[in-house]
Amino acid sequence: MDQTVLLAHGGGGVQTQELIDRIFKAHFANPYFTADDAAVLPLGHERLAFSTDGFIVSPPFFPGGNIGKLSICGTVNDLACMGAQPLWLTCAFVLEEGFPLADLEGIVCAMAETAKAAGVTLVAGDTKVASKGQVDKVFITTSGIGRLLGNVHTSGALARDGDAILVTGDIGRHGAAILLAREEFGIEAEIESDCAPLWHLVQAVLEKTDEIHVIRDATRGGVGTVLYEIASQSQVGIEIRQEDLPVDPRVSGICSMLGLDPLYLACEGRLVIIAPHKEQDRLLATLRALPHGEGAACIGSVTGRHKAGSVVVETAIGAKTLLPRPTGELLPRIC
């Protein structure tokens, strides 16, 4: 393994996992240390979910949101994925000397608005200022606590043979919006990040059935990365159908310009939900009736036909092939 930190260690793929295993897990290991989005902790008769997430998005303002909105959605969604109603959040800012106060206020307004929409309260915060060049404009860390609904047990380790795999909308839009906002490639498209708090979707599906096995938000590394994580945690095979993947045409256009695959582009307002096939229609109908769930679709299934830990794609020509494992930094492929 490498001796220094690489950008790829933050990509959410194999190398992130290596870093976690070798450095963090090795020293932090305890019964509550989790591979899921949030830890589930017993407290009296209740179960709490507890999560934390750092945000360093560049640029901090992008079509469809800003780093403030993102920092609320990220933690709210991590809690929601455990079946926990998000309740309280804290936030810590690291600001770069010289950062305009008007921009900071824009970010904070977005946080307040998003927190309100998500039904959470910001209860504590911290501010540090770093001298110019020590950080890039603004970094935010949010932590959150939520209360698990009574009988809910969701985990990346609970996918079962025969389950259906749903996504709550078109994939890769946040990643595409950020790529464009960086203005490195001269590409323009009217596209907004999918960034949104999603507790209402989780609540709605949990009310429909007790049999939700997995809920994950497909953030860094995209849906492809999340599917590999689930396949590995649950020790199951996963099969998806290329043609059933909901992708906005503009995202497809951007991906074909840069030689990228929307399966590995980040989402910030999309869930992967895994439940028995018999629940599929009911869940899709429920999701599609709600904001941010209109584009929900079934993209494949959990299956014993494939090796545990593998993700297989049925391609446009009807062939089946392994989905390449996401690795490292996303590099546009041109030649």
Partner 1 sequence: MQDDVLMQARNLLTSYAGPPLKIMEVCGTHTHEIFRLGIRNILPKSLSLISGPGCPVCVTPVSYIDEAIYLALEKDVLITTFGDLLRVPGSAMSLARARQEGARVRMVYSPLDALELAKNETREVVFLSVGFETTVPGECLALKQAEEQGIANFSLLCANKTMPMAYQALKGSADAFLYPGHVLAIAGTQSCEALVREGVSGVVAGFTASEILTALACIVHESAKGKAFFVNCYPRVVKATGNPAAQELVAHYMEACDAEWRGLGVIKGSGLALKKAYQHRDARLRFAIPRQEGRANPHCRCGEVLRGLCLPTDCRVFGRACTPSHPIGACMVSSEGTCAAYFQYGLATKPARED
Partner 2 sequence: MCVGLSAKVVKIDHGTALIDAQGARREVSAELLSDLEPGDYVMVHAGIAIAKISASDTEESSQVLQSILTPTDSAQA
Interactions with partner 2, residue window 228-267 (CB under 8 A): 249-250, 252-254, 256-257, 259
Interactions with partner 1, residue window 254-313 (CB under 8 A): 257-259, 310, 313
Structure tokens at 137: 């404009």
- Residue reference for tokens 């996992």: 17
187 binds partner 2 (CB under 8 A): yes
304 binds partner 2 (CB under 8 A): no
**Residue 8 binds which entry of partner 1, partner 2, none, CB below 5-8 Å type-dependent:** partner 1
CA distance readout (Å), 110 to 66, 73, 193, 197, 273: 7, 11, 14, 12, 27
Closest separation in Å from C-beta 258 to partner 1: 7
162 binds partner 2 (CB under 8 A): no
98 binds partner 2 (CB under 8 A): no
Peptide bond into 276 cis (omega under 30): no
**Residue 256 binds which entry of partner 2, partner 1, none, CB below 5-8 Å type-dependent:** partner 2
For residue 102, with 0-12 CB atoms within 10 Å meaning exposed, 13-18 middle and 19 or more buried, which class applies?
exposed
**Residue 252 binds which entry of partner 1, partner 2, none, CB below 5-8 Å type-dependent:** partner 2
Ordered strands of the 214-217 beta sheet: 214-217, 271-276, 163-167, 297-303, 237-241, 311-314, 320-322
Q: Is 285 helix (H, G, I), strand (E, B) or coil?
A: helix
Contact (Cβ atoms closer than 8 angstroms) between residue 262 and residue 334: no
How many residues interact with partner 2 (rule CB under 8 A)? 18
Interactions with partner 2, residue window 17-36 (CB under 8 A): none
Contact (Cβ atoms closer than 8 angstroms) between residue 197 and residue 76: yes
Spatial separation of the C-alpha atoms in residues 275 and 170, rounded to whole Å = 19
Spatial separation of the C-alpha atoms in residues 301 and 106, rounded to whole Å = 42
188 binds partner 2 (CB under 8 A): yes
186 binds partner 2 (CB under 8 A): yes
Closest separation in Å from C-beta 177 to partner 2: 12
**Residue 318 binds which entry of partner 2, partner 1, none, CB below 5-8 Å type-dependent:** partner 1
Of 187, 178, 225, nearest to 70 by C-alpha is 178
332 binds partner 1 (CB under 8 A): yes
Angle between helices 101-118 and 67-80 (to 10 degrees): 30
Contact (Cβ atoms closer than 8 angstroms) between residue 269 and residue 174: yes
Interactions with partner 2, residue window 189-228 (CB under 8 A): 189-191
Instruction: Write each residue from 312 to 331 as x if it is in contact with partner 1 (CB under 8 A), else as -, in one continuous string.
Output: -x-xxxxxxxx-xx-xxx-x
26 binds partner 1 (CB under 8 A): no
Structure tokens at 36: 């899921």
Spatial separation of the C-alpha atoms in residues 110 and 98, rounded to whole Å = 21
Q: Which of 29, 133, 186, 190 binds partner 1 (CB under 8 A)?
A: 186
Structure tokens at 265: 């582009």
Closest separation in Å from C-beta 295 to partner 2: 16
Residue ranges that bind partner 2, judged by CB under 8 A: 185-191, 249-250, 252-254, 256-257, 259, 333-335
Residue ranges that bind partner 1, judged by CB under 8 A: 2, 4, 6-8, 13-15, 18, 184-187, 257-259, 310, 313, 315-322, 324-325, 327-329, 331-335
